[in-house]
Amino acid sequence: MVESSYPVSLSAAVERAVEDYLSTMQGEEIRDLYELLLSEVEPALLKQVLAHTNDNQSATAVILGLNRGTLRKKLRKYGLL
């Protein structure tokens, strides 16, 4: 594992958020958690990286490891284009 200068790793933050979410559901039926998580996290990731690159889609695609067409498809999906 690569050491990080951040106090909490992304995976630890996600684990904590999912743990908190599940504990607040207190017996409620949970469905499609994977899709819910992606629909919450993916647009936030796209927005932050776009802001970091001053809305440069090519640079954003490189940072995310996506081709530009896939990035544009995701941006359209979340109404970010």
Q: Which domains does the chain have, with CATH numbers?
A: 32-81 (1.10.10.60)
pLDDT the model gives residue 7:
73
pLDDT the model gives residue 3:
60
Write the burial class of residue 31 (CB in 10 Å: 0-12 exposed, 13-18 middle, 19+ buried).
Answer: exposed
Angstrom distances, CA of residue 20 to CA of 6, 8, 11, 23, 43: 21, 16, 14, 5, 21
pLDDT in tens, the chain (81 residues): 556 666 789 999 999 999 999 999 998 999 999 999 999 999 999 999 999 999 999 999 999 999 999 999 999 999 999
CB 64 within 8 A of CB 49: yes
Q: Give the whole-angstrom CA distance, residue 63 versus residue 46.
A: 10
Q: What does pTM read for this prediction?
A: 0.79
CB 68 within 8 A of CB 61: yes
Specify the residue for token string 């504990």.
23
